[in-house]
Amino acid sequence: MTRRGGGPDYALEAASPAPVCGVDEAGRGPWAGPVSAAAVILDPACIPPGLDDSKALSERRREALEPRIKATALAWGVGFASAAEIDQMNILQATGLAMRRAVEALAIPPAFILVDGSWRFELPAPVRPVVRGDSLCLSIAAASILAKTARDRVMVELDRAWPDYGFAAHKGYHAPRHVEALRRLGPCPAHRMSWAPIRSLAPPAD
What does the pLDDT look like over 67-109, one tens digit per residue?
999 999 999 999 999 999 999 999 999 999 999 999 999 999 9
The Cα–Cα gap between 4 and 177 comes to: 41
CATH number at residue 91: 3.30.420.10
Band of residue 197 on the pLDDT scale cut at 50, 70, 90: confident
Give residue 200's pLDDT: 83
Residue 6 inside a domain? The answer is no
- CA 116 distance to own-chain centroid: 10
Contact (Cβ atoms closer than 8 angstroms) between residue 79 and residue 36 = yes
Q: Which of 152, 169, 191 is the last residue of a domain?
A: 152
Ranges 23-32, 145-154, 156-165, 196-205: which has the least confidence? 196-205
Residues 180, 86 share a domain? no
The Cα–Cα gap between 161 and 131 comes to: 36
Contact (Cβ atoms closer than 8 angstroms) between residue 154 and residue 33 = yes
Residues 168, 145 share a domain? no
Domain that holds residue 187: 160-201
| % of the chain with per-residue pLDDT over 70 | 95
The Cα–Cα gap between 203 and 182 comes to: 8
Residue 135 inside a domain? The answer is yes
Our count of domains for the chain comes to 2
Mean pLDDT of 113-136: 96
Residues 57, 120 share a domain? yes
Residues 188, 111 share a domain? no
Residues 110, 142 share a domain? yes
Residues 87, 167 share a domain? no
The structure's pTM equals 0.94
Residue 29 inside a domain? The answer is yes
Residue 2 inside a domain? The answer is no
Per-residue pLDDT reduced to its tens digit, 54-74: 999 999 999 999 999 999 999
Residues 128, 87 share a domain? yes
Residues 47, 146 share a domain? yes
Q: Which of 113, 135, 152 is the last residue of a domain?
A: 152
